[in-house]
Chain A
């Protein structure tokens, strides 16, 4: 049977925490437009080549309207979590409306604003590392630093109390985990989260602060060039979720990748000016990036010479694309000096990650502070014992045990 005829299960099972599955290279080479079966049993089309993934993510015919009746369901439940939730549909999918939303919110995520937040982030990182050191080695870098730091930062930007972070953490897990929760659990969590955010916004209306949500409220409704109430609410929920698991998991994966071969860590100790390109390279190299991005095709289109009928659900594997030899020299090698590094970890085109300057700044600051404070940092377990979190739309490691 040729690769073409085989129907692969997706996500592709993989036990290695940091290594890509062997299928990626084969798919890119022999079967760039592959049929896969999702956990729901529905069929989808998997793309693994750099050029294809990049093109499709930026092409408006490939929509994010995963709640279309004939779109593939991602998980076994009726409702595919974040991607097909009603929530996802409230933020405009494309065109001018999306651009308008993006610009209203995007001004909060400019590179300059993020650079201005660096000292604050560094202070948070230092405090969290001090606490971890006080508790003694080995510590879990994910729970001690990776998770709390991005949460403190996004809570501060949104003006929500970081003390509620355990609840956000549960809510965002139910939205991002495609297999772990029942539909009833997901619905209940979404309803609670929704209520929490509406109460929070009502409080902000009464007593505005200097945070992002207060200013979105102050910008007025759609008639004044602002957003509707429900859009502000969903934006707040989306930012809290997006600002939560993604960077948190990436901090753990980044540090694990750099420590997996300790010569990488030593190179950065010797030359911290490589921090920026090193962060980009860990984003590119992340073989545990999660589900990839699903898109629903509104009209017939061709990709890599294959005609995709209207109604196709496409899964873009950015992580597989990021290992494509035709786009990156020695793609299978981690090169801390790689430049330029046009990886697709944040997507591509008009929907590419709105929080990428924030994520990059957080990752750079964490690495800088860790190298400075804990130069002797090392993994406390062999790399082979690191375990993946299963079922999450955003890939991660369960724990990142470290000593110093």
Chain B
């Protein structure tokens, strides 16, 4: 799984960090998403998919090739 985030779209809602804190963080100075693990372990995949699905700004993109 490969993750990309769009900082310009991100509205700093923090849903991704609440759901997958090992993969996503937010910058301290403006709350914008920071990608900690662009290619997370298998164990994180379910949480990452959930985060991408609920991001209110549709700022998280996943490409799921094996």
A85 to B65: give the CA distance in the assembly, Å.
50
A349 to B13: give the CA distance in the assembly, Å.
10
The yes or no answer to A14 lying at the interface (CB within 8 A) is no
A107 touches B50 (CB 8 A): no
Task: Name the interface residues of A352-404: CB closer than 8 Å to any CB of B.
Answer: 352-354, 356-357, 360-361
CB-CB contacts of B27-42 with A at 8 A, as 1s and 0s? 1111110000000000
Binding site for A on B (CB under 8 A): 9, 11-15, 17-18, 21, 25-32, 49-50, 53-54, 56-58
The count of residues in chain A whose C-beta lies closer than 8 Å to any C-beta of chain B is 31
Q: Is the interface of B mostly helix, strand, loop or mixed?
A: loop
Task: Name the interface residues of A89-111: CB closer than 8 Å to any CB of B.
Answer: 102-104, 106-111
Q: Provided the pairs A106-B12, A340-B50, A357-B14 are in contact, do residues A111 and B21 lie with their beta carbons within 8 angstroms? A: yes
B56 touches A114 (CB 8 A): no
Task: Determine the chain A residues whose CB is within 8 A of the CB of B9 once the complex forms.
Answer: 350
Which of A111, A339, A342, A347 meets B14, CB within 8 Å? A111
The yes or no answer to A341 lying at the interface (CB within 8 A) is yes
Task: Determine the chain B residues whose CB is within 8 A of the CB of A360 once the complex forms.
Answer: 18
B50 touches A339 (CB 8 A): yes
Chain B residue with the shortest CB-CB distance to A280 = B54
The yes or no answer to A135 lying at the interface (CB within 8 A) is no
B50 touches A106 (CB 8 A): no
A291 to B21: give the CA distance in the assembly, Å.
34
Task: Determine the chain B residues whose CB is within 8 A of the CB of A352 once the complex forms.
Answer: 11, 13, 56-57
A107 to B13: give the CA distance in the assembly, Å.
10
Binding site for B on A (CB under 8 A): 58, 102-104, 106-112, 114-115, 276, 339-342, 346-354, 356-357, 360-361
Task: Determine the chain A residues whose CB is within 8 A of the CB of B57 once the complex forms.
Answer: 58, 349-350, 352
Task: Determine the chain B residues whose CB is within 8 A of the CB of A342 once the complex forms.
Answer: 53-54
What's the least CB distance linking A359 to chain B, in Å?
11
A111 touches B18 (CB 8 A): yes
Task: Determine the chain B residues whose CB is within 8 A of the CB of A348 once the complex forms.
Answer: 56
A102 touches B54 (CB 8 A): no
Q: Provided the pairs A103-B12, A110-B17, A111-B18 are in contact, do residues A349 and B56 lie with their beta carbons within 8 angstroms? A: yes
Chain B residue with the shortest CB-CB distance to A347 = B56
Which of A107, A112, A114, A346 meets B29, CB within 8 Å? A107
- The 8 closest A-B CB pairs, nearest first, are A111-B14, A111-B17, A340-B53, A106-B31, A103-B30, A352-B56, A357-B14, A106-B12
Which of B15, B21, B29 meets A356, CB within 8 Å? B15
B14 touches A341 (CB 8 A): no
Beyond the given A58-B58, A109-B12, A350-B11, could you list 12 further A-B residue pairs with CB under 8 A, ordered by the A residue number? A103-B31, A106-B11, A106-B31, A107-B27, A107-B28, A107-B30, A110-B12, A110-B14, A342-B54, A348-B56, A352-B56, A361-B18
A104 touches B11 (CB 8 A): no
Q: Provided the pairs A350-B11, A352-B11, A352-B13 are in contact, do residues A106 and B53 lie with their beta carbons within 8 angstroms? A: no
A102 touches B14 (CB 8 A): no
What's the least CB distance linking B49 to chain A, in Å?
7
Q: Provided the pairs A102-B12, A349-B11, A352-B11 are in contact, do residues A110 and B54 lie with their beta carbons within 8 angstroms? A: no
